[in-house]
Amino acid sequence: MIAGKSKLDRKKHLASIVAGHLVSLGHTASVVEGRVNSAGHRDQVLVDSAIGLVHVTASSNTEPNGSILCSDIEDGDQSFLADKEVAAFGWNTGDGRTTVMLVPAEAVRGNKSMTKDQIRSASIRAYTLMLGPPA
């Protein structure tokens, strides 16, 4: 399960899941905090990996096809995607499982939000991760 009391805690937990998953697949990957990208956006947390820089979005929405915000809620800005090759989306399901999907950043650009079905369709299947419910 993606855990954490705050949004930042959940992002950090998801980043560690993504980095660990990429390492298990034979890639290098590490969690980075406080990096400023070329658009001047300061990333709270991201994954620096062999597949590129990975933006991390941990959603608290457990609806099966709920929407996940992909831009600033106020102005639609996506400067957080600058320099990123991939966006990782993670969410817990109503039955206690955790879904993690990596999507090419190009598929995210221009979308204010994406449904979970849209994320699934755009995801890189080789990097999809499903974690079972806690014991």
pLDDT at 38: 98
Q: How far is CA 126 from CA 21, 61, 76, 93, 129, in A?
A: 11, 24, 30, 21, 9
Tell me which residue of 59, 60, 61, 29 sits closest to 46, measured CA to CA: 29
Residues 101/128, Cβ–Cβ less than 8 Å: yes
pLDDT at 67: 97
Domains and CATH numbers, the chain: 7-131 (3.40.1350)
pLDDT at 134: 74
pLDDT for residue 135 is more than 80: no
pLDDT at 91: 98
Q: Tokens in use for 100?
A: 């993690």
Angle at 21 between CA 130 and CA 61, to 5 degrees: 45
pLDDT at 39: 97
- Tens-digit pLDDT profile for residues 69-114: 999 988 999 999 999 999 999 999 999 999 999 999 999 999 999 9
